[in-house]
Each structure stands twice: as structure tokens, then as C-alpha cells.
Chains A and B, each alone.
Chain A
Amino acid sequence: MIDIIQPGMLASVQDMGRTGHRSLGIHPGGALNTLALASANLLVGNPVDAAGLEITMGVAELRFTRDTRIALGGDDIGATLDGKPVAACWSIPVRAGSVLKLSLAAADSPEQAPRHSMRTYLAVAGGIDVPVVLGSRSTDLKAGFGGHQGRALKRGDKLPIGDASAASAAVHGPAFGVRSPRWSGLALRADEHSQHVTLRVLPGPEFDQFSKTAREALWSDTWRVTPNSNRMGYRLEGPELKRKQGRDMLSHGVVPGVIQVPPSGQPIILMGDAQTTGGYPKIGVIIGADLWKLAQAPLNATLRLEPCELADALAAAEEQQRYLDSIRATVAALDWSRATLYKK
């Protein structure tokens, strides 16, 4: 079991999402930073799509009631295990009774706080063993089903850990780590020396309906992530994006990454918990391979949007896949991984 001592602002059970039910109005949900959860899962010997915890703004405290192995995905947020620092992208043996604490306060001032601290993912050997509902263990927070009792975690919750009995070697083996995505070339060169988060964008179906000024502003201005952002969408603030014609649109299917522009002219980037259909014009779509960076962008962060081509999006997706493959290879080279660690 995992005892939730303190869930922080918002913690929930998530996996890679619930696919196949959009036509019934059921959104995919799932981890917003799939790269972080996938890599953490691989590090503890799980398949990429095992369920883990998504912890928001790096504050939470939890206790493991049995020996296990964990990994944190996301960015370093001053996590400690029984008081000793734990870095993201490390695979760590954990003793029964150990307490994991994620605390942004570990950075003494806001200036010291890590820049990409919005979400942290905890993977545990065997996965979080909540019931599978409609093909997924993800929590649908809006409709109230899936995950742990269909809701965000509360103090006192106890989460079952999946069967990883053959993993005792894994549990007691040494800790090891891999490079984080940010240090593996998956972040853009543009991110390294900039206070902005750069996201690559494909033009949306209604791109040409926007004024020339709006189209130029999209690429040249910076966009602030307003505090009114959540798992449904990131609401941005910047220059008003005006359309040349104000024709109403009929409802249509949307996907995470869509940048829709309501009549206010202030764009909203849809995330995993967005409705399955929308009715606003879509000026662009963030490429799938950059969504993890958006999931990590904290409130008030500034974004830069950069036009790209489909070929860039594919190359970026393949690069991400290679990163995950390299972790899989690292883990496969370890002795303990020969055991069956995880039973679905």
C-alpha cells in the first residue's frame, strides 16, 4: 500500500489515458506528461502504461507500507526519501515504512524554485493497482470515475500496489539513474538559455481565418500561462488574436494540444481532460512530442510558439521513442529485470 499523508494541491492516479470512447463524450485524460510517467515506469520495471501518481506543484507526502522500488518522473523538485534527497529519473529501492516527501519549499525562495515544477510522477514497481474502468486506471476527475474512487487523492487514502512479487531482487537492488529528458536533447536548444518555454506548433484548420497581425503575433509574441489553467486547458494571455471573419463554427472533435481561440481572442491550449468536442476556431496545434514541456510549465510561465512542419513533429516523436528505448535497454541490461516484475 501507499498511504497518502498529504496529497498536496492535486494528486491523482493516472496512466496513459482512456482511449476508444471519445465518440461517447469520454475524454482520454491520463498523465499530462506521458514522457515522465513512461520513463518512470520503465525505471521500475513496469510497462510504460502502468498507473502511477500525478502530483501537482511538487507538494505531497506519502508512506510505503512494504518494500518496493520507485522512480520519479518530471523535474527535480527537492524530493526526499526519509530525509535523503531523491532525484528524478532515478530508480530507487524503498523499505517498508519509508516516507517520500515532495516539497517545493526545499527551495528557499521563489527565485530558487525549479522552473519546470508543475507536475511530478511517481511510478512504483507493480503499478498502482486500482480497478481498470473502460480500459484505463486513469482518474476522470470531471465525470468522477476511474482511478481511486473517481476522485483526487485525500489525506488517509490507501492505494494498493500491483503484484511485483518476483521483483524482490529489483526491490533490494541498487539505485540507478538515467539522464532526464531535458538533458537528453529532447528539450529544444532554444529552452536552454531562455526563460521561455518553446513549443512547436502546426497550423490549425482555421489558421488562415485569422488576421495577418494575429498570425504574426502568434509566433512573435510571448504567451503567459494564466493561473486559470488546469488539466482541461492552459489559458494563455497575450495580444488579442482576431479573426478576419467571425463565422460561428459547428462543434467538432478536438485533441490535446489544440490551440483554440474563443471570442475574447485569448487562446486556450487543450489538455488531456478537455471536452472531446469544441466549437472555437483552432489557430494551431502543439505537436505531440512537445506536450510534456507544456505539462511541466508552471503558472505564469511564458511560452513561445514556433511554427514547424509535420516532418519536424514526426522526427521529434521518434526522438522521444528512442529516449524511452534507451531506458528500456538500460533496465534490460540489469540482472533483476529478467524476473517478471509486473503482472497486468
Chain B
Amino acid sequence: MQPPQLHPLGDRALLCSLPAPATLPQQQRIWALATMASEWEEVSEVVPGMNNLTLITKRPVADLDTLTQRVLKSWPKLGTTASEGRTVEIPVVYGGSAGPDLDNVARHTGLSTREVIERHSSAEYVVYFLGFLPGFAYMGGLDASLATPRHTTPRVSIPAGSVGIGGEQTGIYPMASPGGWQLIGRTALQLFDPSQQPPTLLRPGDRVRFTVERVAS
């Protein structure tokens, strides 16, 4: 596997990007590098992205070259098994007021609502990284037949726990937020709780399964 390309991002961050295309084995290396680099004395934070990792240093670094060398030297030694994630089950009430766009998705995909639910809840998803909101997981693994474009005009407020499809991705809103995704259901699980440690239900590397709690009408 090719080493990452490194580029400074201002005076206290280093962006490490892997060549396209993004694959799960590459992303597993990203998580492994994140785990290793978070132990380094000069590093304050690690931020996995899609096919990349940003290292943020504690203070402006005299030469980012040293950090760059450290990344490149560590790269060949990284395993991919180090960050085997947990499997998290997420019970979902599909349709009805919990998933007001379920019919939309069925219409767009040419599937019945039952098939949409079936395909959405039978896949295994992988949390690639978090962003957008605290606890919001960017997941891979959506059945390609379920891809549905976002609403052209986003909703002003989407309830916490809403499960949606946006283009080729599926995700869960951890808190009430504006958003344009097609909402197919809702979970009662709390995805973000700042009083807990760790504060988010999902972490990079986790595997996610949606289970059908109920189909509302």
C-alpha cells in the first residue's frame, strides 16, 4: 500500500492523504495511524477523514518535517487489525412520522417500502469517520439500489435520531439540525451525550446494523 502524501495545513496541522480510490483496507490503515499518532507527544488531536488523516499539534511546530518523517517511518509498521471496531445495533422505527420520506425513497428507487426497509436493515455498515455534528457518522455500505438524492430545499429542523439517505450514504442525525436527507426512520438511541465518556455512540471503525423495531404507517 502506498504511503500517504503529506501537506502542512497551517502552522500546527499536517494532512496525510492516501491516493484514490478510497477503500476499506486504506481506511483501516488510516485508523491505525490515528491510534498510533494520538500517542505521540507533539500531537494534540487526530482527525480521520475519508481516505485521509489530519494530525493537529499542541503548538506551532518548528519544522513539520520531523512529524512528516515520523509518519512516513511508522507507515510500513502499521497493522490493519489494530482497530477492529465494535458492532453496534441500532433499532429503527421505519416509516410513518418517524420516516416521512420512506415513500419518496420507494418511489425514486422503484422498490416497495418493504424492500427499502429490508435492504436498509440487512446491510452491514462501516463508520469511516465522524464530522458535521458531534456523533454524526459517515458510513459506507449502503445498498446502491437505495441511493436517493437529497431534498432540493433542506428541512429547517430534523428531529434527533432521524435515519436518512442522502445520495449514496445513510446516516443518523445525533441532534435536531437542519438537513436535506430523505428520512426513512428514527432511532430512540442517543448518539451524542456530552455527559458520557466517550460522548458518542459511534466511533471510527465501528460496524453498524439497523434492526427493524417497528414499521409505522
Contacts and interface: CB of A to CB of B under 8 A. Distances in A.
Given A25-B131, A277-B129, A288-B11, A310 B64 contact: yes
Contacts of A257: 10
Given A24-B199, A146-B194, A250-B52, A255 B13 contact: yes
A283 to B, nearest CB: 12
A154 interface: no
B11 A202 contact: yes
Given A253-B15, A253-B47, A277 B60 contact: no
Interface stretch (B91-99, B108-116, B133-141, B145-153): B133-141
Residue of B17, B138, B199 with most partner-chain A CB within 10 A: B199
Nearest to A27: B134
A23 B47 contact: yes
Nearest to B56: A255
A251 B15 contact: no
B134 A26 contact: yes
A316 to B, nearest CB: 9
Residue of A144, A146, A253, A313 with most partner-chain B CB within 10 A: A253
A61 to B, nearest CB: 30
A314 B15 CA distance: 19
A343 B166 CA distance: 48
Interface stretch (A14-22, A159-167, A217-225, A230-238): A14-22
Contacts of B51: 250
Contact of B60 (A22, A144, A317): A317
A205 B7 contact: yes
Contact of B9 (A19, A23, A140, A205): A205
A282 interface: yes
Interface in A1-29: 19-26
Interface string A94-131: 00000000000000000000000000000000000000
Nearest to A318: B60
A202 B7 CA distance: 11
B180 to A, nearest CB: 15
B59 to A, nearest CB: 7
A21 B192 CA distance: 12
A257 B9 CA distance: 9
B48 interface: yes
Contacts of B194: 133-134, 143, 145-146
Interface string B179-195: 00000000000001011
Contacts of B60: 288-289, 313-314, 317
Interface in B1-53: 7-13, 15, 17, 22, 34, 44-53
Nearest to B10: A285
Interface in A231-279: 250-255, 257-258, 275-277
Given A255-B13, A282-B9, A24 B59 contact: no
B134 A20 contact: no
Nearest to A21: B199
A72 to B, nearest CB: 27
A277 B9 contact: no
Given A133-B194, A146-B194, A252-B54, A24 B134 contact: yes
B15 A22 contact: no
A134 B199 contact: yes
Contacts of A144: 175
A205 B16 CA distance: 10
A119 to B, nearest CB: 21
A24 B11 contact: no
Contacts of B195: 133
Contacts of A277: 47, 49, 129, 131-132
Contact of A275 (B17, B62, B132, B174): B132
Contacts of B135: 24-25
A105 to B, nearest CB: 34
Given A25-B130, A287-B11, 19 more contacts: A22-B47, A24-B130, A25-B134, A25-B136, A133-B194, A143-B133, A143-B175, A204-B9, A205-B15, A253-B56, A254-B54, A255-B12, A255-B54, A277-B49, A282-B9, A285-B11, A285-B13, A288-B10, A313-B60
13 contacts: A22-B56, A24-B134, A250-B22, A250-B49, A251-B49, A251-B50, A253-B47, A253-B49, A254-B9, A277-B129, A288-B12, A288-B60, A289-B60
Shortest 9 CB-CB contacts between residues of A and residues of B: A253-B54, A253-B47, A277-B131, A285-B10, A252-B49, A313-B11, A205-B7, A250-B50, A25-B130
Interface of B: 7-13, 15, 17, 22, 34, 44-54, 56, 59-60, 62-64, 129-136, 138, 174-175, 192, 194-195, 198-200, 203-204
Interface of A: 19-26, 133-134, 140, 142-146, 202, 204-205, 250-255, 257-258, 275-277, 282, 285-289, 310, 313-314, 317
